[in-house]
Amino acid sequence: MRFQETKINGVWIVEPERHEDHRGFFARAWCQKESEAHAISSQIAQINVGFTIEKGGLRGLHFQLPPHEETKTVRCVRGAMFDVAVDLRPNSPTYKQWVGVELSAENHRALCIPEGCAHGCQTLEENTEFLYSTSVLYAAQAARGFRYDDPAFGIAWPLSVSSISDGDRNWPEFEDVAVVREASAWSS
């Protein structure tokens, strides 16, 4: 596995090291030892699947408050998507900055998103499916989010939004909510 650092501490792009032959290839998609060597939580409490029919469909920006904060590892298994991590850790030098990367069934990349970061994604192709593992179980009482188009972050989504849930459309803007204070336990 090859780990590529991003500008946000703890956010990694992971590419498999492919071992190819006439049948195709084989590669590790996850490794506890290598994850821990890059300070990525090796705990897997849940694996989720997402499927979006429309190109331009958007999900996010989602996160969980302490003590239910989660590390996510996201991989696209069909189609293609633009995956985003936003740093919400007030003591981080990249506070409120974002990183986006294309994940696809073709490039086999994964994005590792640490605790204290929000996650969102937009499909680049119709019928896109992705898997993501989380380090803790989903806790509805700790689930929060911010608007995908929040000017505090300035995310440059690659496409116009073709579909979004009412819940994701109605998340508050970052500067308007007390949730920022709730998350102050996060460290960089």
Residues with catalytic function: 62, 132
Pairing of strands 98-104, 128-134: unpaired
Q: Is 13 strand, coil or helix?
A: strand
Token representation of residue 149: 């188009």
Where are any strands of DSSP class E within the chain?
A: 2-5, 12-15, 19-21, 24-26, 46-52, 58-64, 72-78, 80-87, 98-104, 110-113, 117-123, 128-134, 143-145
Residue 98 CA neighbour count, 13 Å, CB half: 22
Q: What is the DSSP string of 20-51?
A: EETTEEE--S--HHHHHHTT------EEEEEE
